[in-house]
Amino acid sequence: MTANPASRWTLRILGLGYILLLLLIPLGFIFYKTFEHGIAPPLDAITSPDGLHALKLTLLTVAIAVPLNTVFGIGCALLLVRHRFRGNFLIDAAINLPFAISPIVIGLSLFLLYGTTGWFEPALAEAGIKILFSVPGMVLACIFVSLPFVVRETVPVLQEIGTEQEQAASTLGANAWQTFWRVTLPAIRWGVAYGVVLTTARVLGEFGAVSVVSGSISGQTQTLPLFVEKQYENFNLPGAFGASVLLALLALMTLLAMNLLKRKEDA
């Protein structure tokens, strides 16, 4: 549609004005607000013992959840695309669940499963394992919410590359393992990487599910997003903004990585 200049400008003003108000002003505002009084206050907040602990714990959840979901994601995508099976549609549907379910509902589900009245309580208590209000529960929440990304980004790429090269490799005597490492994985690597970026971003920023299962104890079970909330509640705005800017920078890096990977994938 070649819109006439008047309607073209109307659409531009509407669309770009909306973006400006909804996304760009808030993004600029956070940097302005954080560094309003120099770099020292936010820096102090992040380098406080609780801030550093929150940062470390956030990175720990990423270090556990992302590799697990990546391995699962690639394996699951291979099964869904390369192995026809009657029950595949059920697996397919179940994978989409974390996209649609409220993080609070996810948190509550884990809370009920591992809590004092939960199904696993007797066995866990006997073994002396604590899941709720400690790191394992938080990691489980992060794994839950970020589970679909790698599968969903890998499936279309696998479908697109087809099977000819894999067939050629196996004709030439490669076993399944060799075919995977030398042919399939290199062909799908940018799609997988894209999924990994989305998974990482989701785990870094997860708030609702983690807030239900963690108890948010400063210096113990607080990730950066929980730290932001706590600092705000304690009227420590520089602290809240310091941690927020760190998370916003990570978000911008995510956007950058997404754009670069998209270009690689298209190339």
Segment 38-67, which members bind other proteins (CB under 8 A)?
none
Instruction: For other proteins, give the closer residue by CB, 43 or 257.
Output: 257
Could you tell me which of 203, 226, 81, 66 has the C-alpha nearest to residue 142? Answer: 203
- Least distance CB 175 / other proteins (angstroms): 9
193 binds other proteins (CB under 8 A): no
Instruction: For other proteins, give the closer residue by CB, 48 or 148.
Output: 148
State which of positions 8-27 bind other proteins (CB under 8 A). Answer: 8, 11-12, 14-16, 18-19, 22-27
- Least distance CB 192 / other proteins (angstroms): 12
- Least distance CB 68 / other proteins (angstroms): 8
Tell me the C-alpha to C-alpha distance, in Å, between residue 91 and each of 88, 170, 202. 5, 28, 22
Could you tell me which of 146, 237, 238, 145 has the C-alpha nearest to residue 195? Answer: 146
- Least distance CB 162 / other proteins (angstroms): 7
Instruction: For other proteins, give the closer residue by CB, 48 or 205.
Output: 205
CA pair distance 56, 126, nearest whole angstrom:
30
With contacts defined by CB under 8 A, how many residues of the chain interact with other proteins? Answer: 118
Tell me the per-residue interface mask from 203 to 242 with other proteins, x by CB under 8 A, - otherwise.
-xxxxx--xx-----------xxx-xx--x-------xx-
Tell me the C-alpha to C-alpha distance, in Å, between residue 150 and each of 10, 18, 160, 170, 181. 39, 31, 16, 26, 17
Question: What's the token pair of residue 210?
Answer: 């983690």
State which of positions 160-189 bind other proteins (CB under 8 A). Answer: 162-164, 166-167, 170, 176, 179-180, 183-184
Degrees to nearest 5, angle at CA 120 with 118 and 126: 120
Contact 168, 161 (CB under 8 A): no
- Least distance CB 227 / other proteins (angstroms): 9
CA pair distance 129, 234, nearest whole angstrom:
32
State which of positions 79-138 bind other proteins (CB under 8 A). Answer: 79-85, 87-89, 91-106, 108-113, 115, 117-119
